[in-house]
Amino acid sequence: MLVAGVDSSTQSTKVLLCQADDGAIVGQATAPHPDGTECDPELWWRALARAGDGLLSRADAIGVAAQQHGMVVVDEAGQVIRPALLWNDVRSAPQAAALIAEMGGPGSWARMTGSVPTASFTVTKLRWLAEHEPDAAARTAQVMLPHDWLTWRLGDRAHAPATDRGDASGTGYFSPAADRWLPELAEAALGKPARLPRLAAPAEVVARTPGGAALSAGTGDNMGAALGLGLGVGEVVVSIGTSGTAYAVAAQPAADESGAVAGFADATGRFLPLVATINAARVLTVTARMLGTDAEGLSRLALAAPPGAQGLTLLPYLDGERSPNRPGANGVLRGLTSTNTTQENLARAAVEAVLCSLADAIDNLADCGIAARRVILIGGAAKSEAVRRIAPVVFGVPVTVPEPAEYVALGAARQAAWALSGAAGAPSWPLAGTTLEFTGEPVPLIRGQYGALRDATIGWG
């Protein structure tokens, strides 16, 4: 039997067709999404149709994992009212601050929802909609997440929209600890009641396609990656893609009142405390473009410079930042001298900046009792030799890099296979290819000069 996994990310739709028993990939395709911080969901659907052509029709079951937090609002007829506001849209930062204050402060939010909402969270986008587009808010009958909407479309809109606890935990109106919606929070944000998707069990078949394929509950992209990697409790992952994330599977819910750690649920019934950054691989892409090179060229340049880039330090908050919560921040380059302004040092500073930002995220997990003994490094930037070799120097622990793969789509496919089987647990799928390990002597100078710049710029944005 065959199962399909869909990863509808910020940048593209990827589809994997896998054997249900062992996860072996028998087909795959991708289609791009437009760039930006909002998107008409219909464009995701078209990308899914293109990437899924010749693959989805062969699947006995389909699972969809997608970017978290995106606000999809539909009217009573099921029509999308406006383009979806995505996780990387920070226009709702003032609404996040207002909601936190209204509901009793960060501690109250952490206790209710496991997280303190930032501008990324759906609940803040609902408040922005109510304040800035009141007519659209008044028409809103139902609120969905990107994966909910795509699964609903795959079922030809014949079933009530459904979601899973993993993706629901990123909305700001769900309790991972109690496993239930908190509709009063959504209503307080939107200014009116709106329907929320039905919460499905991890291995539930929520609907079927017109062709008869089973549709699993789906999940968020980070939960999909954890499922695709087959993470065990306590294993720490750092993903460097469009966003940066550090997360681990946990047996108990998290409730970090500082707001640094989002207390998400995972896709299996457990929990997924996570720290997310807005600025990750794009920092490397922008730096490479500025230096007139590509990703491989940037890697070579970075490895030719010494640790610490001779005092050149980059704060990588190019598009505002979520962790730490600085939505109005910009990038800052510090320490320029007549001797250190080389291409090599700038490339090194960019790589170290991204890794230092994620090292801070690893420290945030440690504050919640999850200490990394090693880090599993995934994401597009994990292909960079410089990132692989500098990461253990910055993180201070060994780094393992599994074979590059579409782990989000693989996790969605694994969930589909689980739903198809009706078994008590997800099928055991071995990771394909070779896992590499990288070690290095920590260089405290790197994080020292990065931390000094980070702290000196508090209040700048």
Return the pLDDT at 140.
Answer: 98
Q: pLDDT by residue for the chain (461 residues), tens digit each?
A: 999 999 999 999 999 999 999 999 999 999 999 999 999 999 999 999 999 999 999 999 999 999 999 999 999 999 999 999 999 898 999 999 999 999 999 999 999 999 999 999 999 999 999 999 999 999 999 999 999 999 999 999 999 999 999 999 999 999 999 999 999 999 999 999 999 999 999 999 999 999 999 999 999 999 999 999 999 888 999 999 888 999 999 999 999 999 999 999 999 999 999 999 999 999 999 999 999 999 999 999 999 999 999 999 999 999 999 899 898 999 999 999 999 999 999 999 999 999 999 999 999 999 999 999 999 999 999 999 999 999 999 999 999 999 989 999 999 999 999 999 999 999 999 988 889 999 999 999 999 999 999 999 999 87
164, 167, 221, 319: which one is catalytic?
A: 221
Return the pLDDT at 343.
Answer: 98
Ramachandran class of 305: left when φ > 0, alpha when ψ lies in -120 to 50, beta otherwise: beta
**Angle at 290 (CA atoms; ends 286, 292), nearest 5 degrees:** 115
Structure tokens that stand for 299 in this block: 């890697």
Contact status, residue 221 vs residue 7, Cβ threshold 8 Å: yes
End-to-end CA distance of the chain: 53
Query: Residue 264 pairs with which residues in a beta bridge?
Result: 272
Return the pLDDT at 70.
Answer: 98
* Interatomic CA distance for residues 447 and 357, integer angstroms: 9
Question: How many other C-beta atoms can be found within 10 angstroms of the C-beta atom of residue 29?
Answer: 16
Return the pLDDT at 322.
Answer: 87
Residue for token pair 């969605």: 412
Residue for token pair 């293109």: 50
CA atoms 264, 218, 163, 142: torsion sign:
positive
* Interatomic CA distance for residues 341 and 343, integer angstroms: 7
* Interatomic CA distance for residues 175 and 83, integer angstroms: 27
Structure tokens that stand for 71 in this block: 């606000």
Cα dihedral: 140, 141, 145, 151 (round 10): -130
Contact status, residue 377 vs residue 414, Cβ threshold 8 Å: no
Structure tokens that stand for 256 in this block: 């970090």
Q: What is the DSSP string of 39-101?
A: E-HHHHHHHHHHHHTTTGGG-SEEEEEE-SS-BEEE-TTS-B-SPEEPTT--TTHHHHHHHHH
Question: Half-sphere exposure of residue 140, counting CA atoms within 13 Å on the CB side?
Answer: 30
Could you give phi then psi for residue 389, rounded to 5 degrees? -85, -30
Contact status, residue 177 vs residue 230, Cβ threshold 8 Å: no
Q: Is 167 tagged catalytic?
A: no
Contact status, residue 272 vs residue 286, Cβ threshold 8 Å: no
